[in-house]
Amino acid sequence: MLDAYREILYNGTMESLLDKLRQYSDSGALAMHMPGHKRNTEDFAWLAPLGARFDITEIDGFDNLNDPQELFARLEERAARLWGAKQSICLVNGSTAGVLAAIRAAVPSGGEILLARNSHKSVYHAAELADAKPHYLLPSADPQTGIFGSVSAAEVAQALDAHPNVRLVAVTSPTYEGVISDVRRIADVCHARGALLFVDEAHGAHLGFGGFPESAVRCGADLVVQSLHKTLPSLTQTAILHVNGERIDPARVRRNTVIFQSSSPSYLLSASIDGCVNYLERQGTAAAERWLAARAEFDRAAESLAHLCIWQGGQTVFAQDPSKIVVFCADADLTGRELAGIFREQFRIEVEMAHECYVVAMTGMGDTAQSLRRFADAVCAIDRTCRKGGLPRPVQPFVLPEKRLSVGEALASPGAFCPLAEAVGQVSGEYVWAYPPGIPVLVPGEVIGEGMLGEAEKLHSDRGQLPKRIFCVGNA
């Protein structure tokens, strides 16, 4: 009996982490360790469907995600092979933890960084924590939809020449709307100027599988974070941080992931990562091909659209990620938010995001030909009921606000809340996240501009709408 128990704890060849957890759970071992539910799903019935019987802590034989030696070391080696990284670090606190760790590891305190302005809020928070001095790159936007285009290598070169002390460049590729940048050329530009490249590929963990465009990991980026949960078969919060090349010490990155991860990393989430890697190793290519075939079928159905259209990127876009479907209310008498409402109320379809003139529908490896056919049928049915609306007026281009104070100075300054209408010309003491998914219109220390508020009001913020008051610096 004891031998069988030891076999469960120390057998390194077991099929999956979930198998190992299942066997431990079935072994009759008395858990005199965390978590406090003790796998007692009789008294705590709601925990049974949540998988409590597999929810353990870092007991002997089950390694430690934050200090991988055995089981997790093998998992990370497999992940690195799969995506083509020098080293991969599994994360259970989302890409958010990876972004914070990567930027803190790569930028010395007070160092200069170059950020694409359409970066996710976690990138701004990382810069804030590293006390970094950001310079911004503003990618050009598609004039009809306002969707930010790709970051170009030429823009990065120009910005790095203007700010030669920058040590890290951070870009998002693909973006929320599926816009991909030419990471290979951007990496060359960065490396030629002594800067590291971090790519937020939270939306692109599937890139490189089957016929999907290449991942930034294989295009020379030094640090790449991917949310497994956004597009692949894995539970929410699972992510992976790839450390590439010779320019940054993986141990330094790991030290930082430990800072930003829970010291009790969930075994349920870890088992999900293990299962996802397992699946991708065996069937990733075939699954990606099925997914792309379903998308191609969707596109064929969408060819008949008369008023709505599927956004094709245009001149500002280097490449598009086919996992995203942006339905543009091109010539329809509908706003994007109305369109999202029709999907919800008439078709029981929930899209990822609604904007003034488009919606973003996310597909994932879990989609099937059938699910995308259902979505295509809904898009075509709505299109048939639309009337000609006249093209939406071009979206006002986002203009970088004037910067008066650094983020750190602004956050440390006294101030007061001010009604939005009276805030023009004042210095913001807070972030205003008005571009989904959490891209700031205003960063602390920036001057609140006239046109900005009108435009921003039409956009989503992560609070559902733009706040009515804004904290302004020096207004106490």
Give the nearest distance from C-beta 91 to ligand PLP in angstroms.
8
Closest separation in Å from C-beta 223 to ligand PLP? 13
Size of the site for ligand PLP (CB under 6 A): 14
> Which amino acid makes up residue 473?
V
Per-residue x/- track, 216-245, ligand PLP (CB under 6 A): -----------x-----------x------
Which residue in this structure is represented by tokens 């006249």?
390
What is the spatial distance between Cα 334 and Cα 357, in angstroms, rounded to a whole number? Answer: 8
Question: Which is closer to ligand PLP, CB of 101 or CB of 271?
Answer: 101
Greatest Cα-to-Cα distance within the chain, rounded to the nearest angstrom: 75
Q: How far is CA 224 from CA 58, 183, 246, in A?
A: 27, 11, 14
Q: Which residues contact 196 (CB under 8 A, 6 or more apart)?
A: 106, 167, 168, 169, 190, 222, 223, 247, 248
**How close are the terminal C-alpha atoms of the chain, in Å?**
71
Q: Does 202 contact ligand PLP by CB under 6 A? A: yes
- Residue with Cβ nearer ligand PLP (291 or 435): 435
- Does 122 engage in binding with ligand PLP (CB under 6 A)? yes
Q: Smallest Cα–Cα separation from 14: which of 275, 239, 197, 359?
A: 275
Q: Confirm or reject binding of residue 341 to ligand PLP (CB under 6 A).
A: no
Alpha helices in 84-163 (DSSP H): 94-106, 121-129, 153-162
Spacing of C-alpha 397 from chain mean position: 24
* Cβ nearer to ligand PLP, comparing 66 with 426: 66
User: Rule CB under 6 A: is residue 215 a binding residue for ligand PLP?
Assistant: no
Residue with nearest beta carbon to ligand PLP: 94
Which of 172, 323, 335, 428 is in the footprint of ligand PLP by CB under 6 A? 172
If one asks whether residue 148 binds ligand PLP (CB under 6 A), the answer comes out as no
The HSE-up count of residue 86 (CA atoms within 13 Å, CB side) is 16
Instruction: Give whichever of 234 and 426 is closer to ligand PLP, judged by the CB atom.
Output: 234
Question: Which residues on neighbouring strands pair with residue 354, listed in sequence order?
Answer: 359
Q: Tell me how many degrees the CA angle 329-396-386 measures, rounded to the nearest 5.
A: 15
Q: Whose Cβ is closer to ligand PLP: residue 232's or residue 448's?
A: 232
Nearer to ligand PLP, 113 or 410 (CB): 113
Element (H, E) at 187: helix 183-192
Binds ligand PLP by CB under 6 A, chosen from 95, 244, 270, 272: 95
Distance CA 47, CA 63 (A): 24
Cα–chain-centroid distance for residue 398?
22
From 93-101, 276-284, 348-356, 455-463, give the range in contact with ligand PLP by CB under 6 A: 93-101
| Cβ-count burial 225-244 (b if 16+ within 10 Å, e if not) | bbbbbbbbebbebbbbbbbb
Q: Which of 155, 200, 367, 383 binds ligand PLP (CB under 6 A)?
A: 200
Nearer to ligand PLP, 66 or 234 (CB): 234
Which of 24, 148, 176, 358 lies at the binding interface for ligand PLP (CB under 6 A)? Answer: 176
Q: Minimum distance from CB of 360 to ligand PLP (Å)?
A: 11
Query: 294 vs 360, which CB is nearer to ligand PLP?
Result: 360
**What does the binding site for ligand PLP look like in residue numbers (CB under 6 A)?**
94-96, 99, 120, 122, 172, 176, 200, 202-203, 227, 239, 437
